Structure formats: structure tokens, C-alpha cells
């Protein structure tokens, strides 16, 4: 077992406790290898082997809604836009659809609202009275190349403003040069700056070159105390893919076997259809089990996905008729 150091608890920690900081272990990271062709063969078979229809599909999609980090990361974001997004997070699916499915009283919301630091306070205000957390992208998002002291201060400022989750981004150069000690040290510093806030580490998988680098970066982040590992910022040329997801969730499984602690997973970038999101759900169920279908251990970084899910739920409720997208406004 790895050497574990105590860290603050947090409201979102899965059963069994929050993933703690472990001692750095270069040998463990160096032993990680990924067979790319085998990984790609595995995910290529997934859509054809598993599918769900009708009421079962509707149930999976409602669960997906609860795992969405509803996101706006645009240069022209305003408090008004964020308030509308938060209203959608409070009521992500039309009430008439929920009632038709018999779940109108379940209090269905999204998993979180994700914004830049400047929009944290408006989001917190708009979500007051709910248990929906605000997640702030931080640490020089999306490149992660600003000075380390400034990245740490950005985390502290977002936590002080009310963010309960922090999505940090790695300096990918450390991974590309094989300096996993630097990856560990930075993520550990970010974890300490977060305090009790939930830490999601964006490894920027599409920038890392190989699946082995993706796996090693994931392992270093979990070793440093990450609560979640996340594929992408959404700004890379290649964002979330099923191959990245497979490699990362297998590292999560390995970490659980080594330490007994659960780490969450968040794919982000390019997930815009129900088919896309259900394939990620299938990976989670097959590789990690039902615990990783819940928002405490699974999040989806998305903005346009919710509209397609609502249309699919409307299709189910109406007996086979697709509605126009404008009937399911994103705000």
C-alpha cells in the first residue's frame, strides 16, 4: 500500500472517504504502459455490444443529466447569461416531461455549474438555496502556463468567492518531458489551496501524444490527491475520446486496488449527443461499476448535450415524435 497523508474532508467525497495525498512514487508511474491497439479495439466494440431502449434509455439519460457540469466558458459571458444557465441547472428537464415519467418530485438538477472565476459570485448567488455546486476553471485555464504562485492564488480566490469545486489544468510540458515529480508537486499544491473544495484535474489528454502519457499523468494526479481526473479543457484539437476514457478509468481502478480510495472521472469536450454520453456511461459501468454512474464519481463537461437529452426524453414521452430544439432552451 502507498503511504497516505491525511487531508481535509469534503461534502462530495464518495463513500469510503476522499482520496488523500499519497507519497510520490516514481517507480509506480514508470511501470505504467498502455497498448494503444488493444485499447482502441476495446472501445471500438462498445457501441455495438451494449445498447438500451425505451424506458431504460430514458432512465440512463435522466442519470446523465444529474452528472452534467453545465458549462459556459466564453469570452462574452455575462452575469445575466450565467443566471440563465443556473436556472437551467435548477430545472434541466421540462417539468411536464418529468411528471410524465413519474419523477416530477425527484428534484432533478445538474451535477454542477462550471464557469470562469469572474462568474463564480453571480453563479453562487443564482444557485443560493440549492445544493448545486459551482465549479471554477482555474490555474491559467486552458494552457496552464501562468506562474505557479498566480495559479495557486486563483484557486484561493475562487474558493473564497464560493466555488465548491475547482477544475485545474496541468502544465502539459511536465508530462511531455517525463517530469512527473513536477506534475505531482503542482497538483499537490493545488490540492492544498483547494482546502475542502473538490479538486478536478484536467490532464489535457489530446495534447499528451500517447496513451501511456495519459495513463501516467492520471496516476501522478491521483497520487497528489485529485478527487477527479478529467480528460480535457474543451479547447484542445482533440478532446474527450472513448480511448482516453478507457485508459483513465483503468488507472482509477488500479488506484482503488492500490489504496482502497475512489477517484472520479470527468470526460469533457465534444460530448453533444445522447449516443456520445451513453457510451461513456457504458464504459463507467463495465470498467468501474454502478458507483461511477453517480455524480459523486462521474461528471460530464458539456453545454449543448442537455438539449439533445431533453429532445430524446420528449421523444420517449410523446411516443416517438421529436420536438424542435427551441422547445428546450438552454437559457
By annotation, the residues acting in catalysis are 167, 230, 266
Name residues whose C-beta falls within 8 Å of residue 64's C-beta, 6 or more positions apart in sequence. Answer: 274, 277, 278, 281, 300, 305, 309
Task: Classify the phi-psi angles of 320: left when phi > 0, otherwise alpha if psi is within -120 to 50, otherwise beta.
Answer: left
Residue 129 in grid coordinates: 438555496
Q: Are 121 and 158 in contact (CB under 8 A)?
A: no
Residue 133 in grid coordinates: 455546486
Q: Report the C-alpha gap between 326 and 59 in whole angstroms.
A: 23
Q: Report the C-alpha gap between 88 and 72 in whole angstroms.
A: 12
Burial of 5 (0-12, 13-18, 19+ CB in 10 A): exposed
Query: 247-285 burial, b if ≥16 CB within 10 A, otherwise e?
Result: bbbbbbbbbbebbebbbbbbbbbbbebbebbbbbbbbbb
Degrees, nearest 5: CA angle 55-52-291: 90
Amino acid at each position: 500500500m502507498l503511504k497516505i497523508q491525511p487531508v481535509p474532508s469534503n461534502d462530495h467525497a464518495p463513500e469510503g472517504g476522499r482520496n488523500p495525498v499519497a507519497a510520490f512514487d516514481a517507480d509506480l508511474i514508470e511501470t505504467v504502459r498502455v497498448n494503444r491497439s488493444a485499447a482502441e479495439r476495446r472501445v471500438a466494440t462498445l457501441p455495438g455490444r451494449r445498447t438500451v431502449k425505451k424506458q431504460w434509455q430514458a432512465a440512463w439519460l435522466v442519470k446523465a443529466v444529474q452528472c452534467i457540469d453545465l458549462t459556459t466558458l466564453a469570452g462574452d459571458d455575462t452575469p445575466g447569461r450565467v443566471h440563465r444557465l443556473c436556472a437551467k441547472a435548477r430545472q434541466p428537464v421540462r417539468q411536464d416531461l418529468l411528471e410524465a415519467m413519474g419523477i416530477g418530485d425527484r428534484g432533478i438538477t445538474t451535477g454542477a455549474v462550471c464557469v470562469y472565476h469572474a462568474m463564480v459570485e453571480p453563479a453562487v448567488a443564482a444557485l443560493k438555496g440549492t445544493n448545486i455546486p459551482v465549479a471554477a476553471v482555474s490555474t491559467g485555464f486552458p494552457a496552464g502556463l501562468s506562474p505557479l504562485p498566480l495559479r495557486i492564488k486563483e484557486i484561493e480566490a475562487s474558493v473564497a468567492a464560493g466555488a465548491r469545486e475547482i477544475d485545474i489544468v496541468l502544465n502539459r510540458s511536465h508530462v511531455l518531458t517525463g517530469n512527473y515529480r513536477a506534475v505531482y508537486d503542482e497538483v499537490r499544491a493545488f490540492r492544498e489551496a483547494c482546502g475542502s473544495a473538490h479538486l478536478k484535474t484536467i490532464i489535457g489528454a489530446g495534447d499528451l501524444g500517447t496513451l501511456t502519457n495519459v495513463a501516467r499523468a492520471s496516476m501522478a494526479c491521483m497520487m497528489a490527491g485529485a478527487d477527479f481526473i478529467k480528460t480535457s479543457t474543451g479547447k484542445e484539437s482533440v478532446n474527450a475520446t472513448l480511448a482516453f476514457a478507457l485508459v483513465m478509468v483503468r488507472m482509477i481502478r488500479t488506484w482503488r486496488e492500490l489504496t482502497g480510495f475512489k477517484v472520479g472521472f470527468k470526460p469533457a469536450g465534444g460530448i453533444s449527443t445522447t449516443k456520445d454520453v451513453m457510451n461513456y456511461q457504458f464504459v463507467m459501468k463495465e470498467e468501474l461499476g454502478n458507483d461511477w454512474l453517480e455524480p459523486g464519481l462521474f461528471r460530464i463537461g458539456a453545454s449543448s448535450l442537455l438539449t439533445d437529452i431533453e429532445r430524446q426524453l420528449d421523444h420517449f414521452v410523446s411516443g416517438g415524435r421529436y420536438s424542435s430544439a427551441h422547445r428546450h432552451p438552454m437559457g
